[in-house]
Chain A
Amino acid sequence: MTWETVIGLETHVQLSTKTKLFSRASTTFGKSPNTNVNLIDCGLPGVLPSVNKEAFYKAIRFGMAVGAQINQTSIFDRKNYFYADLPKGYQITQMDLPIVLGGTIDIEAGDGIKTVNITRAHLEEDAGKSIHDEFDGYSAIDLNRAGTPLLEIVSEPEISNAKEAVAYMKAMHQLVTYLDVSDGNMAQGSLRCDANVSIRKNGDKELGTRTEIKNINSFKFVEKAINFEIKRQIKVLESGEKVTQETRLYDSVKDETRPMRSKEFANDYRYFPEPDLLPVVISDEEMQKIKDEFPELPNEKEIRYQKQFKLSAYDAQIIASSKSMADFFESAAKQTKNYTLLSNWLIGEVSAYLNKELIEINESKLNVDNVAMLINRIDDQTISGKIGKTIFEEMCINGTSPDEIIESQGLKQISDDGAIEEIIDTVIKDNSPQVKAYLEGKDKLFGFFVGQVMKLTQGKANPTAVNTILKEKLKK
């Protein structure tokens, strides 16, 4: 029997607003526990929420980018449940009238582009964090995250396998970072998803019973968790049993999913309209402003890079595919003329380093000034490309500027013809047998002489000058 998989994703995107959704407390990540917390965030008696419009603007920007319907009047609802890190005993979310309805997102499927429909996207506040393992006999609560704005994006159940789910998440990541809607930092939980997975016999019309895998926070885990779950469900069905509708948790250490709670014992969330907030109305003027300030998207950037910086279509596409890389390129391009060299370096050495470290460029020690300086030093022949690689390694480790490294390690290229001639003369004098052999037709030895020159200059001799002068001298 063959099985068909049906996946729907609920993506939680943490919006990159300065302050929380309903309070003016900061959203900065990594502060000591309970410092980004004010009266509202800890749900003191008598406090009331106030809407942060910035979160709406970001949500609308997302909605516009996916071609969705924007509800200019949207309302908040309360989702009631008890948990220790949910200060009010309810979460403020949007149930009946979400800010974003519909839309589509294109993903790279195995055999081309696939369009996935988006059901809706709504704003809600995040909960705090319970810490169970730090204090003996006690649980602790950190409310720093409580009230942070989230955009929950719900896809239609149109994703057919784990690879597509990963492609969907990657497309989502590119979009939200490009739109400056979120920093997209998955390790910090800025982008995470719940996957609803079900399987059915090939050709069946009705959907199978689904399970929901909660809180997956990396592309790798999305793939692994879904693949595990598909196999598990097939095994259950093939042994003649039924899949239980339940919430499951992915354990990345054991690479398995386990039940969290069964839907039978699920909360009745008792949704009702939030009486502490009026409907939020976005004016036509505000909508226009969002449109006017709409950020450039990857495909627009690609075209511009080819025109403005004369990059090849291939290079332009690679640079534009990541928002942080594109931003880096554009800033560096203000400080150098050799755009091709810059893009070669970003696509080559820089990307190789980032891929090895699994980080984004803005998380590395590389900065725009230093990389532009490196390109300029190669471009103006202060150093060779090869020395450039040595310097780059040092820059990655220490964040030092290329000029400092060149200075402190004496790496400046020798371009002075007189100085190079002297060295070449020495090389010719010291290697007379090889010179003889070369002159007798052993052309391959030319490289040997270049190597000797480089050895004597610790690689600092200008390779072009070495080539020219060496050819001259060896003719004589």
Chain B
Amino acid sequence: MTAGAIWVLLTIIAELSFTSLNIFGDAASEQGEFIDDAFVLLMLLAIPILTFVITMIGYVFFKFRAKGDELEDSAPTRTHTKWVGFWLIWTTVLCLVVIVHPGYTGLLEIRQTSAEEPDLTVNVTGRRWQWMYEYEGRGVQLLMKDDTLVLPNHSLIRFNITAEDQDVIHSFWIPAFRMKIDAVPGLTTYMDVNTTEIGHFNDDVNFRVQCAELCGKDHSLMFTRVEVVEPAEFEQWITNR
């Protein structure tokens, strides 16, 4: 009873303090919002398990310690069918729940090629240690390490990603969108993103393309600044280039 009360209390405190924190900042894409929600949900499910283990450890240490150096044995309980059954059921149910949501729902949201035509397709090539971009059909290329990758807000953007033939594996990651996929020599991967927020690297460091797969010497510095602007502004930018 006491242990149960402590557990419930601890859980409530932990859940409330977690939900009152906004650890991420806002995601700038629909996929990112889904991922943040999934993270929060998994956290809310994980906290009661952690507090249960903490409560149990604290309680048994407090309550069931042998006094002094006495060497008395405990009652020889070997198993308890109902508890084992209960344990198996709740772990299985919880497992199935997260497989369905955010598991399969997440697959549909994130790794499903969108049926719609993308508003913008960007072909991305990685090489040690920079990214290069081509706005497909728009006649714009960004080939310098210092270029800023400008993207339109409220648009479906498809990135087709690869790495140069004699190069190594990189990973194309935009933390603000929460999305990444590897850039593999000899293979073209893709990533669909629906942008939802405007932003600029200078205000939020997560607006950057960061290489996330170790690629040698300057791996840490292999990033591009990202700016998400309103569509009209984006069209103007394209024209100016």
- Do chains A and B interact in one complex? no
Interface residues of A (CB under 8 A from B): none
